[in-house]
Amino acid sequence: MNDADQRLAAAALDPGAAGERPSVAAARRSGAVLIASGQVAARDGKLLAEGRVGDDVSLDTARSCARQCARNVIAAVQDELGGLGAIEQVETVSVWVASAPGFIDQHLVADAATDLFTEVFGDDAGRHARVALGVAALPTGSPVEVQATFRLRPEAP
């Protein structure tokens, strides 16, 4: 048995109390890839809006939230790398939209995040593959969450 097998065998099946949260990195580097964790629509520790798009949150507000989420992703990357110069390419962007039944414009919400990545990294390096998904709810009541994967320049430290 290796160490991981032994730790799994020793791990309790009880997930612990709901208030106990595991340590999750805001960004994680693996070789030439940097993955930024999902970021909600918060600024200065406060959500820009709460609820589901199409019910509690308008499309315009949701787009502002998506832009803020993307800004928070970029800030996490900047903190991890000490700047943005090491980014060669935005590879993928995932946008989750807390959606009311019948709301089908998740792609329009996601466009606001895409726009910011393109503004910051340029038309070429900012161009990415993307998924926009509607979900019933998101952490903390945020109407939008954005996650992204970046390719780093070969010479990046």
- Per residue in 52-87, pLDDT (tens digit) is 999 999 999 999 999 999 999 999 999 999 999 999
**Tell me, what amino acid is at 22?**
P
Reading the block at residue 112, the tokens are 């606001």
Torsion over CA: 136, 144, 38, 23 (sign): negative
**pLDDT tens track for 17-43:** 555 556 688 999 999 999 999 999 999
The predicted-structure confidence for 91-111, as pLDDT tens digits, reads as follows 999 999 999 999 999 999 999
Q: Which residues contact 59 (CB under 8 A, 6 or more apart)?
A: 53, 105, 108, 109
**Global pTM?**
0.88
Adjacent-strand bridge partners of 57: 53
Return the bridge partners of 47, or none. 42
